[in-house]
């Protein structure tokens, strides 16, 4: 089975991160508006981004047990990234997404996430997809719902983030739910 990556959608190219992405990633990871509901500590150092990009450069596919940070490119410009972690058995995947402020609210995160979810389910045979977030992250929750996910659990004060305990909300769906979701999603 050949890899679809870089994966092309209607508007985007989903691809491995590159060394030339470092400055863009550093800027949006340190943007207070972008970082507000994410789990990384601020400030994000250049060294940390360089190490992360080096670890995520050159992969050719999504493999069980190997987390991927997938660059989201629009018209030759990196606009964000999508996290995918397929468990070691290949049956369960976690997704997450980060977009630069100026590209949020335009459907790009949905376009990228739906393409990756379709690949995980249809090509790789994944049977369950989930995402974790703070209940305060309403926009991401709406995106997960648009993908066809539903609230699976809420664990109060169970996630340590930036020196405080936060609630952890889990959205999930099965492959069957993905395949039978309404066409309008």
111: which 2 tokens? 């376009």
pLDDT at 1: 62
Section 13-17 average pLDDT: 97
Q: What is the pLDDT of residues 153-178, one digit of tens each?
A: 988 888 877 788 888 899 999 999 99
Question: What are the backbone angles phi and psi of residue 55, rounded to the nearest 5°?
Answer: -75, -20
Domain of 70, in residue numbers:
7-129
E strand map for the chain: 7-8, 12-16, 68-74, 77-86, 92-99, 128-133, 150-161, 164-174
Specify if 146 maps to a domain: no
Q: Considering its fold, how many domains does the chain have in total?
A: 1
Q: CA torsion sign, 106 to 66 to 63 to 182?
A: negative
Q: What is the CATH number of the domain that holds 117?
A: 3.40.630.30
Specify if 107 maps to a domain: yes
Section 3-17 average pLDDT: 96
45: which 2 tokens? 């150092």
Specify if 19 maps to a domain: yes
Section 65-72 average pLDDT: 97
Task: Select from 31, 32, 63, 25 the least CA-distant residue to 46.
Answer: 25
pLDDT at 168: 87
């Amino acid at each position: 089975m050949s890899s679809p990556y870089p994966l092309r959608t209607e508007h985007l190219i989903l691809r491995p991160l590159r060394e030339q992405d470092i400055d863009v990633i550093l800027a949006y990871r340190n943007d207070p508006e972008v970082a507000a509901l994410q789990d990384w500590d601020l400030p994000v150092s250049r060294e940390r981004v360089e190490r992360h990009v080096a670890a995520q450069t050159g992969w050719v596919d999504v493999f069980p047990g190997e987390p991927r940070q997938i660059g989201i490119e629009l018209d030759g410009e990196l606009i964000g990234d999508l996290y995918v972690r397929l468990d070691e058995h290949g049956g369960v995947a976690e997704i997450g997404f980060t977009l630069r402020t100026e590209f949020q609210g335009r459907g790009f995160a949905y376009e990228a996430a739906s393409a990756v979810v379709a690949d995980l389910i249809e090509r790789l045979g994944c049977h369950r997809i989930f995402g974790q977030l703070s209940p305060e992250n309403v926009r991401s929750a709406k995106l997960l719902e648009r993908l066809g996910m539903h609230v699976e659990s809420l664990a109060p004060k169970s996630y340590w983030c930036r020196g405080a305990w936060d609630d952890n909300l889990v959205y999930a769906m099965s492959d069957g739910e993905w395949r039978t979701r309404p066409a309008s999603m």
